[in-house]
Structure 1
Amino acid sequence: MYSLLLFVILADFLREVCAISDVDIVPRDAWGARPPYMIEAMANPVPYVVIHHSYIPPACNTTEDCMQAMRSMQDYHQLNHSWNDIGYSFAVGGDGRAYMGRGWDRVGAHAPKFNDKSIGICIIGDWSADLPPERQLKVTQDLIEMGVRDGAIQKDYILLGHKQTKKKGATECPGDRLFEEIQTWPNWQNEALPDGKKETFD
């Protein structure tokens, strides 16, 4: 009886690990990233995950279009804003793949006051009125779980939408519909600011 129970627990564990490890992460060289101007190391595991939408570029449904979206965002961040690199840690496309931006262990440029203590994930598209496709949401959740499993994200991390890291009204990111959705995800919190100030998003 004991051995059967142990087998069931082990099978469930392996099924969960395999599901998480199925995230298809496209490396920087594959999507055509230019080198960063500078790299700032970030200590892991981080306590926050911040969700964004790109707004522009719009949603991409093919790998070719998603790679172009990544290059477009990197151009905008590096060439227009003079940032060191694309601002996000990762982006997730409608093709069901995750694209490496700065990765797990480099300080991002996606949410001031949180950049050195969070993984920033951009769900490519404008999610103000519409919800991203189910597989795009699933890959995002699996990516977070992978980060927890691999020690890049704290197990008790706090999940936030980008607008929660700024003063109210400063940004609509990650879009009203997506923000509504992530409030149903594990570890979402309706209050945050790392400097001790709090704003509530009920």
Structure 2
Amino acid sequence: MFSVVNATSDPVIVPRSGWNARPPKGIDEMINPVPYVVIHHSHFPAACNTGEECIEAMQWMQKYHQDNHTWLDIGYHFAVGSDGRAYEGRGWSRVGAHAPHYNNISIGICVIGDWTELLPPEEQLNAIHQLIAMGVREGKIQRDYKLVGHKQVREGTVCPGDRLYEEIKTWPHYSTSPDYTLHRKKEEPHSRVVPPDEDNKLKKRTASFFNKLK
């Protein structure tokens, strides 16, 4: 079990301007405070250990979400890197695109990396706790919020990875049965784990994309 250190301290948040985010194609405002926090992993891009790597990961995810999925913006509200910093995605008060039926009632946090077998480093986990605590203090997240893994509210995914999921089950506010889980025919836009066959295709395109960013 991870021991939270300095959870009451504010996390280091890199604003959109700090990672050179594209402008959103549109904005849907969200009403705060929200009752849910949904934890994801990116699967791909892989874990980022430096500011430069995390900026590249954020730019890649935003480009993929906007260009391939034609979403308004990067799907997550925030992403957290292994450098111990939180990166602003849609921010606290805009509807996300990360979990069907939860996009407008939750904060979606992406833990950058594939956490199927490994646990994120302490700095990364601590930043998640700090980010959630900040959201509660600032009235963006309800004090009695429910914490869930993506796979609890989305069928057909292993996100946020088996190892990370076992970890978040030990965290305060973890909920075994979200109240809002529904099986609807029509789904909202959402973020997903990239399947292995598509993952290989994406990796082939990534090197040239990163070169263009430098």
TM > 0.5 fold call: yes
Gapped runs of 5+ residues in structure 2? 1-5, 184-214
Cα 1:127–1:119 shift into 2, 3 Å:
same
| Equivalences for residues 96-111 of structure 1 within 5 A | 96-111=84-99
2:167 maps to what in 1?
Answer: 181
1:132 maps to what in 2?
Answer: 120
Cα 1:38–1:176 shift into 2, 3 Å:
same
**C-alpha displacement at 1:166, in angstroms?**
1.5
Matched, 1:190 2:154: no
Between the aligned residues of both structures, percent identity stands at: 62
Which structure's residues are more often helix, by fraction?
Answer: 1
2:143 maps to what in 1?
Answer: 155
2:78 maps to what in 1?
Answer: 90
Once structures 1 and 2 are overlaid, which stretch shifts more, 68-77 or 187-196? 187-196
**C-alpha displacement at 1:75, in angstroms?**
0.6
Cα 1:19–1:130 shift into 2, 3 Å:
closer
CA deviation string 1:93-149 (max 9, x = no partner): 011100000000000000010000000000000000000001100100110000000
Distance 1:80 1:195 in 2: 27
1:145 maps to what in 2?
Answer: 133
- In structure 2, the residue corresponding to 1:51 is in which secondary structure? strand
Max Rg structure: 1
* Consecutive aligned runs of 4 or more in structure 1 exceeding 6 Å deviation: none
**Count of aligned residue pairs for this structure pair:** 178
Structure 2 length-normalised TM: 0.81
2:26 maps to what in 1?
Answer: 38
